[in-house]
Amino acid sequence: RRVHGAMSVSHKYMMRQFVRYTWRYAWRFSLFYMILIGIPDLMSLYRGKISPIHNIICGSLLGALYKIRFPLPYILTSAALGGLMTTPAALLLTALSKVESVNIIRMQQHYKLESRWVLEATDKENQLMFEGFRKEMSDKSTHS
């Protein structure tokens, strides 16, 4: 019975700590992930080509953000290490994108088609709302 009680207390403590630290660090993880994925894609779309330097710059930025509360030499060292550690993955990702023949034109077309679809859907909704409003107004004017 005592063993079960001690296990229950330790289990509750571990669950409480897990939830606490998950809540505390989840936003940091999501920010890092957004930077790691979003910035190289945006740079590639803007420049019109896929290059490993985009991922290396992103790794350097993440390294600098990791030590943002420290003095400048620590930030610069961390940025350099982030760039160095990102280099193999950047080269691998660039090679894989060339093997799979991912090109910027396709990416741009995909994003344009997606945004055009959203705009068309919004325009149709607005048109239907306007027609409904116009019909209501004409009904009110005929009844008056």
Is 82 in contact with 61 (CB distance < 8 Å)?
Answer: yes
What pLDDT does residue 118 have?
57
Task: Note the pLDDT of residue 85.
Answer: 93
Evaluate whether 90 touches 56 at the Cβ level (below 8 Å): yes
Of 109, 111, 103, 6, nearest in space to 48 by CA: 103
Question: For the chain, how many helices (H) and strands (E)?
Answer: 4, 0
Decide if 60 contacts 85 (C-beta within 8 A).
Answer: no
* pLDDT score recorded for residue 60: 93
Q: What is the pLDDT of residue 126?
A: 63
| Alpha-carbon span 16 to 13, nearest angstrom | 5
Render pLDDT for 59-77 as a digit per residue (tens, 0 to 9).
999 999 889 899 999 999 9
Q: Give pLDDT < 50 ranges for the chain.
A: none
pLDDT of 4:
61
40-49, pLDDT tens digit by residue?
A: 888 887 887 7
